[in-house]
């Protein structure tokens, strides 16, 4: 922290991926140097071409990529998909963190039963080959988290941005800052679940929100996706275009380059 404070005072510009983190950084370092927020978005070249529209008779493939932890891949969601939805195929790429070997074992057991596909860890570019077969991506965060690696993650988490770049609709937790970012733009929220169970979509958003702690909300979201494959595709296409035109690294890095004298 001492080194961080010293560097923050002499750097031409400091860069963090989340607005709350920017505020905390300024408060803790006392820097008067420029501090910019640049999200962990993909490069422009990583945006794929438009995806083919879905065939509703095919299985709905949902993608998860990243570290295997119950914070990001809750057992409620995993179990709901594999136990109740034979028409949904969960495609998982990632590695087990040391605290979550039970989750890794359950994933391997489900794979033996043929109800999910688990590919293990892969390089970034090889991941695209798996993601491109899917229509939606799990980008969940736990509710009430205090760990900075699970909190203040809007913009810092690359999962939803990467999914959008590949034309996938995002499935996010129903946290206010997440729904504002990925569901609210240009449209009003609409319930996708029964009364009293949180879950939302947006007419102009990039995916749906569920409460990962509620089995009712999870199943409501999964039901909606199965019944609305064309709308799911439209969400993915809106997201792809958003990354292509605005939320890409080249566009966002311009605000940083303006501070640097080359």
pLDDT of 105:
87
pLDDT at 198: 60
**Same domain membership, residue 252 and residue 178:** no
Q: Which of 176, 163, 148 shows the shortest CA–CA distance to 235?
A: 163
pLDDT of residue 149: 75
pLDDT of residue 204: 72
For 5-28, how does the pLDDT look when each residue is reduced to its tens digit (9 = 90+)? 999 999 999 999 999 999 999 999
Same domain, 85 and 160: yes
Other C-beta atoms closer than 10 Å to the C-beta of 21 total: 18
Within a domain: 262: no
- pLDDT for res 193: 43
For residues 158 and 30, state if they share a domain. Answer: no
Note whether 180 and 224 are same-domain residues: yes
d(CA 206, CA 72) in angstroms, rounded, equals 19
Q: Clarify whether residues 103 and 213 are in a common domain.
A: yes
- Give yes or no: residues 212 and 124 share one domain: yes
Same domain, 201 and 218: yes
Are 252 and 137 members of one domain? Answer: no
Contact 209/222 with Cβ under 8 angstroms? no
Asked if the structure places residue 233 within a domain, the reply is: yes
Q: Are residues 35 and 135 in the same domain?
A: no
Q: Which domain holds residue 221?
A: 47-245
Is 197 inside any structural domain? Answer: yes
**Which CB contacts under 8 angstroms, 24+ apart, belong to 80-88?**
80/215, 80/218, 80/219, 80/222, 81/116, 81/222, 82/110, 82/113, 82/115, 82/116, 84/219, 84/222, 85/222, 85/226, 87/59, 87/60, 87/226, 88/59, 88/60, 88/61, 88/62, 88/222, 88/226
Q: Let me know whether 253 and 236 are in one domain.
A: no
Whether residue 236 is contained in a domain is answered as: yes
Please give the pLDDT value at position 185. Answer: 61
Q: What is the pLDDT of residues 137-154, one digit of tens each?
A: 999 999 887 777 788 999
Domain CATH number, residue 81: 3.40.50.2000
Tell me whether residue 202 is in a domain. yes
pTM, full prediction: 0.90
Q: Are 107 and 68 in contact (CB under 8 A)?
A: yes
Counted domains in the chain? 2
The answer on 106 and 33 residing in a single domain is no
- Asked whether the beta carbons of 247 and 112 are under 8 A apart, the reply is no
89 in the same domain as 145: yes
pLDDT of residue 249: 93
pLDDT tens track, the chain, 262 positions: 899 999 999 999 999 999 999 999 999 999 999 999 999 999 999 999 999 999 989 999 999 999 899 989 999 999 999 999 999 999 999 988 777 878 888 998 999 888 899 999 999 889 999 999 999 999 999 988 777 778 899 999 999 999 999 999 999 999 999 999 999 764 444 444 443 356 666 667 999 999 999 999 999 999 999 999 999 999 999 999 999 999 999 999 888 888 887 6
């Amino acid at each position: 922290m001492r080194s961080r404070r010293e560097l923050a005072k002499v750097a031409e510009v400091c860069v963090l991926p989340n607005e709350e983190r920017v505020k905390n950084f300024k408060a803790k370092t006392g820097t008067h140097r420029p501090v910019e927020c640049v999200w962990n978005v993909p490069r422009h070249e990583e945006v794929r071409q438009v995806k083919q529209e879905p065939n509703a008779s095919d299985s709905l493939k949902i993608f998860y990529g990243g570290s295997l932890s119950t914070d990001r891949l809750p057992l409620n969601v995993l179990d709901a998909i594999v136990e109740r939805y034979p028409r949904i195929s969960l495609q998982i790429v990632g590695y087990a963190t040391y605290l979550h070997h039970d989750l890794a074992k359950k994933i391997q057991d489900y794979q033996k039963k043929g109800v999910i596909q688990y590919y293990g860890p892969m390089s970034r570019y090889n991941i695209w080959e798996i993601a491109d077969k899917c229509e939606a991506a799990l980008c969940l965060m736990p509710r009430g988290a205090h760990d900075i690696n699970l909190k203040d993650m809007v913009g810092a988490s690359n999962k939803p941005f990467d999914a959008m770049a590949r034309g996938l609709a995002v499935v996010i937790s129903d946290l206010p800052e997440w729904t504002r970012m990925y569901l609210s733009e240009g449209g009003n929220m609409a319930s996708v679940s029964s009364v009293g169970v949180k879950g939302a979509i947006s007419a102009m958003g990039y995916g749906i929100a569920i409460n990962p702690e509620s089995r009712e909300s999870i199943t409501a979201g999964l039901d909606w996706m199965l019944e609305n494959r064309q709308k799911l595709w439209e969400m993915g296409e809106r997201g792809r275009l958003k990354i292509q035109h605005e939320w890409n690294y080249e566009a966002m890095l311009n605000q940083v380059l303006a501070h640097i004298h080359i």
